[in-house]
């Protein structure tokens, strides 16, 4: 489906964007491994997280839905059942990589595949360390591309340096580590999102973390996980689109309710504050071990260009496309480097952003690991390709709001992967 977004007058109001995707995935995957019944309030119902529910049902987990509440009847750490068919991971990298960690320590054979985008994404970063833990894994390109098969085996703990600071890799190894003999230690040069660690601590797992020169997680062989009741806050990665809109559309003011502001996730908002954005956290509080806030955003006409470097990337990795959109409207230059991970997301997001910015009249320089965006540019408008990547579709919808001739987005319906209500929510806060 193609969608056209045209210039608007302003953004006004309040919005509770859908629940956090990362926490929603973990709320099903980890509670499936508990001994007993867990409940999840405000589970995200979107393409990727529904994939997780489907996959865990195929692995024998009873998951009941009752309105906004999900009940997961955990099967214990090694209690999954052999699926009778290939598992379809759809578009979801998180489901795939975390589930590899689950399956490696079970006592059966399974195969997983995914859509055209997921089948291109690198899985060796998970399958290689899992093999070092003694996992029996095969697949295309020596086990680094889907389809991938896993024959469950007896795992042993390892020490691993998570060079890319990938939360999916870290989480897969933590999960496998629970079913492994001995201790598994994972170190990261920059701390990636820590929802797995937080939730497992909440469930009583023998997991410890320490922060110094590197961030270190240690997990021991785990006997059991306690069931929990989780409430999922709003997703900062989804809130980022609306915050960006309020910042760049004149005379706007918006309150984003109950947003997760865990420091491993709110880098987008902090970087924008550094650029001079009028963004305030109000009513900061804790919800099942995570920090949430209402985020108040006002139009900010005097933003200044800054540098975004490798150390900044993990806490804003999914927000770079919409950050680039804001960067077209600031004074001076914005230089983004250290972001080569963007090349292997749902699309090559560096290429997708650079090409699409050029298509709508923006001058931008592509770097191997980022881009340089000149500020205060006129957005003429035109045609962009989402590459069926949800975050590209939504980022360019926001740019459409300040375009002279409107922006038409190819395959805009892919927004359903993380945010099915995106276009309705946009309608509800715009004034024409
Ligand atoms: C995620 C981790 C990040 C992020 C993805 C979700 C997670 O990926 O981009 O959207 O839930 O663990 P990487 O682990 O590849 O950095």
| 44 has pLDDT over 90 | yes
Residue 65 lies in a domain: yes
Residue 228 lies in a domain: no
- Cα–Cα distance measured from residue 124 to residue 131, given in angstroms and rounded to the nearest whole number: 10
pLDDT digits (tens, 9 = 90+) for 212-261: 999 999 999 999 999 999 999 999 999 999 999 999 999 999 999 999 99
- Looking at the structure, do residues 205 and 333 belong to the same domain, yes or no? no
Ligand 1 pocket: which of 46, 93, 236 to mutate (most atoms <8 Å of CB)?
93
The residue from 155, 190, 220 where one domain ends is 220
288 pLDDT band (50/70/90 cuts)? confident
271 shares a domain with 169: no
Structure confidence by residue, pLDDT tens digits, 172-190: 999 999 999 999 999 999 9
| Residue 89 confidence (pLDDT) | 98
Please, what is the end-to-end C-alpha distance for the chain in angstroms? Answer: 23
pLDDT for 147 beyond 90: yes
Ligand 1 close to Cβ of residue 300 (< 6 A): no
Residues 206 and 237 in one domain: no
**Cα 381 to ligand 1 centroid, rounded to whole Å:** 31
Domain count, the chain: 2
Do 237 and 179 share a structural domain? no
> Average pLDDT, stretch 379-391?
98
Q: Average pLDDT for residues 49-75, to the nearest whole number?
A: 96
Q: Is 251 a catalytic residue?
A: no
Q: Is the CB of 346 under 6 A from ligand 1?
A: no
| Cα–ligand 1 centroid distance for 140 (angstroms) | 22
The structure's pTM equals: 0.98
Inside any domain, residue 379? yes
* Shared domain check, 334 and 193: no
Closest CA to 22 of 314, 336, 398: 314
How far apart CA 327 and CA 338 sit, in angstroms, is 17
Catalytic site residue from 266, 312, 318, 389: 318
Q: Specify whether 188 is located in the same domain as 303.
A: no
Range of the domain at 301: 3-19+233-431
Residue 196 lies in a domain: yes
Domain boundary among 189, 220, 251: 220
What percent of the chain stands above pLDDT 70?
100
Question: 86 and 189, same structural domain?
Answer: yes
Residue nearest to atom 16 of ligand 1 (CA): 166
Residues 193 and 255 in one domain: no
In the predicted model, is pLDDT for residue 59 greater than 80? yes
Where is 366: in which H helix or E strand?
strand 364-367
What distance in Å separates the CA atoms of residue 326 and residue 320, rounded to the nearest whole number? 10
Q: Is 22 in the pocket of ligand 1 (CB under 6 A)?
A: yes
Residues 294 and 333 occupy one common structural domain: yes
Which one-letter DSSP state was computed for residue 82?
Answer: -
Cα 375 to the chain's mean position, in Å? Answer: 27
Say how many CA atoms lie within 13 Å of 332 toward its Cβ: 10
pLDDT in tens, 189-214: 999 999 999 999 999 999 999 999 99
DSSP 215-263: EEEEEE--S-----EEE--B-HHHHHHHHHHHHHSTT-EEEEEEEE--T
Q: What is the pLDDT of residues 109-121, one digit of tens each?
A: 999 999 999 999 9
Give domain status of residue 226, yes or no. no
Q: Which of 124, 167, 316, 391 to mutate to test the pocket of ligand 1 (most atoms within 8 A of CB)?
A: 167
CA of 94 to the centre of ligand 1 (A): 6
Q: What pLDDT shows up at residue 208?
A: 98
Residue 124 lies in a domain: yes
CA distances 356 to 241, 331, 336, 364, Å, are 17, 21, 17, 10
Residues in Cβ contact with 50 at an 8 Å cutoff, skipping those fewer than 6 apart = none
Which ligand 1 atom sits closest to the C-alpha of 167?
14
Q: What angle do CA 428, 48, 136 make, to 5 degrees?
A: 165
Instruction: Grade residue 271 by pLDDT with cuts at 50, 70 and 90.
Output: very high
Find out whether the beta carbon of 262 lies less than 6 Å from any atom of ligand 1: no
pLDDT of residue 67: 80
Q: Give residue 221's region: left, alpha or beta (phi > 0; psi -120 to 50).
A: beta
- Distance of CA 166 from the midpoint of ligand 1 (Å): 6
Are 326 and 418 part of one and the same domain? yes
For all residues of the chain together, what is the average pLDDT? 98
Q: Is residue 398 part of a domain?
A: yes
Give yes or no: residues 191 and 245 share one domain: no
Domain membership flag for residue 56: yes
Q: Tell me, what's the pLDDT at 389?
A: 98
Domain end position, chosen among 167, 189, 220: 220
318 lines ligand 1 (CB under 6 A): yes
Cα 352 to ligand 1 centre (Å): 18
pLDDT of residue 110: 98
**What span, in angstroms and rounded, lies between the C-alpha atoms of 275 and 287?**
29
pLDDT tens column, 82-95 = 999 999 999 999 99
Do residues 7 and 66 share a domain? no
CATH code of residue 426: 3.65.10.10
Q: What is the mean pLDDT of residues 343-353?
A: 98
Position 68 confidence tier, pLDDT thresholds 50, 70, 90: confident
């Amino acid at each position: 489906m193609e969608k056209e977004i045209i210039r608007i007058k302003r953004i006004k109001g309040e919005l509770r964007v859908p629940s956090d995707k990362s926490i929603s995935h973990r709320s099903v995957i980890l509670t499936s491994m508990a001994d007993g019944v867990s409940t999840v309030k405000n589970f995200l119902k979107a393409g990727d997280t529904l994939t997780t529910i489907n996959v865990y049902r195929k692995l024998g987990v009873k998951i009941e839905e009752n309105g906004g509440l999900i009940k997961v009847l955990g099967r214990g750490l090694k209690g999954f059942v052999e699926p009778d068919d290939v598992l379809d991971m759809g578009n979801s990298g998180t489901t795939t990589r975390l589930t590899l960690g689950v399956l490696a320590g079970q006592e059966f054979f399974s195969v997983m595949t995914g859509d055209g985008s997921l089948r291109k994404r690198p899985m060796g970063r998970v399958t290689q360390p899992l093999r070092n833990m003694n996992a029996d894994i095969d697949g295309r390109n020596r086990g680094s591309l889907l389809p991938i098969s896993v024959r469950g085996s007896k795992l042993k703990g390892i020490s691993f340096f998570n060079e890319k600071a990938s939360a999916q890799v870290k989480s897969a190894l933590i999960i496998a580590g629970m079913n492994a003999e001995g201790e598994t230690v994972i170190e990261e040069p920059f701390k990636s999102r820590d929802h797995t660690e937080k939730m497992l601590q909440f469930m009583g797992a023998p997991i410890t973390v320490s922060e110094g020169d590197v961030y270190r997680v240690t997990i021991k062989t785990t006997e059991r996980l306690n069931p929990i009741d989780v409430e999922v806050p709003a997703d900062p990665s989804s809130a980022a689109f609306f915050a960006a809109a309020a910042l760049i559309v004149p005379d706007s003011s918006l309150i984003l309710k109950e947003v997760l502001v865990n420091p491993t996730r709110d880098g987008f908002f902090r970087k924008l504050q550094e650029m001079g954005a009028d963004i305030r956290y109000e009513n900061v509080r804790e919800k099942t071990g995570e920090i949430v806030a209402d985020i108040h955003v006002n139009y900010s006409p005097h933003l200044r260009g800054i540098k975004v470097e490798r150390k900044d990337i993990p806490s804003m990795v999914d927000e770079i496309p919409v950050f680039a959109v804001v960067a077209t409207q600031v004074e001076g230059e914005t230089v983004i480097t250290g972001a080569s991970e963007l090349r292997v997301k749902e699309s090559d997001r560096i290429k997708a952003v650079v090409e699409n910015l050029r298509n709508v009249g923006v001058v931008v320089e592509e770097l191997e690991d980022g881009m340089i965006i000149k500020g205060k540019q006129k957005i003429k408008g035109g045609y962009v390709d989402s590459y069926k990547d949800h975050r590209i579709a939504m980022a360019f919808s926001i740019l459409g709001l300040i375009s002279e001739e409107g922006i038409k987005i190819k395959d805009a319906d892919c927004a359903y992967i993380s945010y099915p209500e995106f276009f309705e929510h946009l309608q509800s806060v715009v004034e024409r």
